[in-house]
Amino acid sequence: MKTLMTLGLVFLAAGASAQAPGMDRNLNTRATRLEREKVIVSPPENNKNKIAHRRVTYSGIVVQTLKADKPLQLLNPVAPEEYGNGETSVTREPKTGRVNGLRIFSIEF
């Protein structure tokens, strides 16, 4: 019984001494932290996987497959550089830079 009471008091003291994480009240500190965490992502420029026709540009996985000599090499992770990389066919979220989806077929005016 004494052991149980001692353990209970130890856990109670440990819980009482734990502190909640402090709120960041200083706006300047928070702004600098957000600037430090911001990821700037620029889309890769690869014009060989695009088809330009008048004022319209077609791009995406379908166009890349049509232009490739060996389309199955697009699935090969150790394919030569001439087949490009996967970054040209993904869409990213502007704020965080995370991959949002795949560009199957894209039309730009």
For the residues of 50-94, what is the DSSP string, one character each? EEEETTEEEESHHHHHHH-SSGGGGG-TT--GGG--GGGGEEE-T
pLDDT of residue 17: 58
Q: For residues 106 and 51, give the distance between their C-alpha atoms in angstroms, rounded to a whole number.
A: 10
pTM of the model: 0.52
Q: Give the pLDDT confidence of 15-74 residue by residue, as tens digits.
A: 665 555 555 455 667 677 767 666 655 555 556 678 888 899 888 889 888 888 888 888
The three-state secondary structure class of 34 is: helix
pLDDT of residue 52: 86
Q: Which residues pair with 106 in a beta bridge?
A: 59
